[in-house]
């Protein structure tokens, strides 16, 4: 059962679905006869508004993708949006994965799903996406986009963490600059997360073993994978080295596409070049919907 709340703006509205007694909220933009459905999963300390920033329709994944013929469901991840405060039902990774699958199924309902579902994730949302894509229930996905994630932290973050470990009395390092620098990569009223901030659920501070598990699950993803790192990424190692490191883990994927987004900071979908980024990945979604096989040069990424 779903309920529709008042429309936020033309073409985008918020919906809330009941998932075994826990509300799951999402921003939805529908195409009349969709090529496919994109399920977008935001990162930490924000909500689905990350994909439809207030006052910046040009940066909106929902508006751009729906105009291109894709229905978009930007789900508030477990513990965010309407499910905030329901921690007792979302403590384990298995609970959160089950919640996400059920929420997507309920929100899709009897909507036209086109040629299938594509998962599009940013930063901390990549964890849930990899869990879903490596699960048997995710075998039929068209593909996934993973942006703003990595295995090795950027030297800027490593330095801050090392200084904190040497002096436990210090306040835990503020990673705001790594998340949002450089300022010129964002519109002034977007820089710093204005208008899209949210409190992170407690479980997001208890994932110390995720990187080992990530490598194990990544190898089990059986669908095409697109990976994006920003030109100015400062949380994770970026550039060819960072992209190649991530690609090396997806040994079961039939196609890997690696992309460095020019002019973007860590938060690619609200950077000034967000439209260029969204159009680039939407081309990949279209190729996945058509079943386009990997190019020889893309297969070389894996071999190299």
CA neighbor of 228 nearest in space, from 119, 153, 122, 118: 122
Supply the pLDDT for residue 162.
65
**pLDDT score at 4:** 45
Q: Which residues of the chain have pLDDT under 50?
A: 3-9, 304
Distances (CA, A) of 122 to 55, 94, 269: 21, 20, 8
The predicted structure's pLDDT at residue 297: 81
Burial class (CB in 10 A: 0-12, 13-18, 19+), 231: middle
The H-or-E segment that residue 210 falls in is helix 210-218
One-character DSSP codes across 134-165: HSGGGTT--EEEEES--SSB-HHHHHHHHHHH
- For the segment 259-270, what is each residue's pLDDT rounded down to a tens digit? 999 999 999 999
Can you list the domains of the chain with their CATH numbers?
Answer: 2-303 (3.40.50.1820)
pLDDT number for residue 178:
86
Identify the pLDDT of residue 154. Answer: 85
Strand partners, 197: 46
pLDDT of 176: 79
As to burial, measured by CB atoms within 10 angstroms (0-12 exposed, 13-18 middle, 19+ buried), residue 153 is middle
Instruction: Say how many Å lie between the first and final Cα of the chain, rounded.
Output: 48
Q: pLDDT digit string (tens) for 152-210?
A: 888 877 776 666 556 655 555 567 788 999 999 999 999 999 999 999 998 987 766 77
User: Rounded to whole angstroms, how far apart are CA atoms 93 and 85?
Assistant: 17
- What is the model's pLDDT at position 8? 41
Say what the pLDDT of residue 59 is: 97
Instruction: Determine the pLDDT at residue 156.
Output: 77
Which is nearest to 44 in space by CA: 231, 199, 271, 221?
Answer: 199
Please give the pLDDT value at position 119.
99
């Amino acid at each position: 059962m779903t309920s529709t709340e008042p429309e936020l703006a033309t073409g985008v509205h918020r919906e809330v679905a009941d998932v075994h007694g826990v509300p799951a909220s999402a921003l939805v933009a529908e195409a009349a006869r969709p090529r496919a459905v994109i399920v977008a999963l935001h990162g930490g300390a924000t909500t689905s508004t990350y994909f439809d920033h207030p006052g910046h329709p040009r940066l909106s994944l929902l508006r751009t993708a729906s105009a291109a013929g894709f229905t978009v469901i930007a789900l508030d991840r477990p513990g965010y949006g309407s499910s905030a405060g329901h921690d007792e039902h979302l403590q384990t990774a298995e609970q959160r994965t089950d919640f996400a699958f059920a929420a997507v199924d309920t929100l899709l309902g009897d909507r036209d799903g086109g040629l299938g579902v594509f998962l599009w994730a940013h930063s901390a949302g990549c964890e849930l996406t990899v869990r879903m894509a490596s699960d048997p229930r995710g075998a039929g996905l068209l593909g996934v986009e993973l942006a703003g994630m990595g295995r090795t932290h950027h030297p800027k973050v490593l330095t801050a963490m090392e200084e904190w470990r040497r002096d436990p009395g210090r306040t835990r390092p503020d990673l705001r600059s790594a998340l949002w620098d450089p300022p010129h990569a964002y519109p002034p009223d977007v820089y710093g997360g204005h208008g899209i901030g949210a409190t992170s659920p407690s479980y997001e501070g208890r994932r110390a073993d995720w990187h080992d598990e990530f490598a194990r699950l990544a190898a089990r993803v059986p669908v095409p994978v697109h990976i994006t790192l920003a030109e100015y990424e400062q949380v994770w190692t970026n550039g060819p080295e960072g992209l190649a490191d991530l690609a090396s883990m997806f040994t079961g994927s039939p196609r890997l596409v690696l992309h460095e987004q020019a002019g973007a900071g860590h938060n690619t979908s609200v950077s000034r070049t967000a439209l260029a980024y969204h159009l680039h990945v939407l081309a990949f979604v279209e190729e996945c919907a058509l079943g386009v096989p990997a190019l020889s040069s893309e297969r070389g990424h894996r071999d190299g």
